[in-house]
């Protein structure tokens, strides 16, 4: 009888553990689905992950033409160098983001967002030193904003593909901030003050 009693105790413990698992795990899965997560074979894809891919695509849609214009409209060699880096790096990053989005089922935009269109409009009417200043200020400010987004995604995503892509994007953003700062034209007083 003791052996059978022991079996009953083990069985009861198993049932209790299973019940706890159902109570604890199932509501979390439902909450995850309600928060806009989608399941992928690389882990859950969050709304922030999808937004990150959209922002990377938007970056390429305005930074590639801005970089090309730097080659045509600037007389400053450092601005031309920065523009070339933006143009070349974003062409590669744009190809990569389109591949990531296709693999993860994320729709991407095909035009810059309204702010980016406005910044391109400012640049399209400028040449020489005026172009250089607009180029350095708008692009450095934009990279500062996206840097925080990339870091947050890299630190918190649950998706393996997004994590790897965010690490790649982070390297590009850091490089672009550096080459823009090397122009000597960035107005640091116009950049947002970091929050504590």
Q: What is the pLDDT of residues 80-121, one digit of tens each?
A: 999 999 999 999 999 999 999 999 999 999 999 999 999 999
Token pair in block for residue 70: 């730097």
pLDDT score at 5? 58
Alpha helical stretches, state H, the chain: 2-34, 47-73, 77-104, 114-124, 128-156, 160-181
Q: Which of 56, 63, 55 is nearest to 180 (CA)?
A: 63
- pLDDT (0 to 100) of residue 19: 47
What pLDDT is attached to residue 90? 97
Taking the CB of residue 149, how many other CB atoms lie within 10 A of it? 17
What is the rounded CA–CA span in Å between residue 46 and residue 112? 23
pLDDT in the model for residue 192 = 85
What confidence score (pLDDT) does residue 18 get? 46
pLDDT single digits (tens) 169-184: 999 999 999 999 999 9
Residues whose CB is less than 8 angstroms from the CB of residue 90 and which lie 6 or more positions away in sequence, other chains included? 59, 60, 63, 64, 67, 172
- Please tell me what DSSP assigns to residue 194: P
pLDDT of 112:
97
Q: What is the pLDDT of residue 194?
A: 83
pLDDT at residue 13, rounded to an integer: 46
CA distance 22 to 99: 37
pLDDT digits (tens, 9 = 90+) for 135-168: 999 999 999 999 999 999 999 999 999 999 999 9
pLDDT of residue 26: 46
Q: What's the pLDDT at 14?
A: 47
Q: Is the pTM of this model over 0.75?
A: yes
pLDDT (tens digit per residue) in 31-46: 445 489 999 999 999 9
| Rg for the chain, CA atoms, rounded | 24
């Amino acid at each position: 009888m003791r052996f059978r009693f022991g079996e009953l105790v083990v069985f009861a413990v198993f049932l209790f553990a299973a019940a706890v698992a159902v109570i604890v795990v199932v509501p979390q899965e439902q909450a995850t689905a309600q928060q806009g997560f989608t399941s992928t074979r690389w882990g859950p894809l969050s709304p922030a992950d999808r937004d990150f891919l959209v922002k990377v695509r938007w970056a390429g849609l305005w930074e590639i033409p801005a970089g090309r214009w730097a080659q045509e409209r600037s007389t400053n060699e450092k601005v031309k160098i920065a523009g070339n880096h933006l143009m070349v790096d974003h062409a590669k990053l744009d190809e990569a983001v389109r591949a990531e989005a296709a693999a993860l089922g994320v729709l991407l935009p095909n035009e810059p967002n309204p702010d980016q269109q406005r910044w391109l409009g400012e640049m399209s009417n400028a040449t020489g030193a005026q172009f250089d200043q607009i180029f350095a200020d708008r692009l450095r400010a934009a990279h500062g904003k996206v840097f925080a987004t990339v870091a947050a995604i890299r630190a918190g995503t649950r998706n393996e593909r997004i994590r790897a892509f965010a690490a790649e994007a982070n390297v590009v953003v850091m490089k672009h901030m550096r080459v823009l700062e090397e122009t000597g034209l960035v107005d640091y007083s116009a950049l947002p003050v970091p929050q504590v």
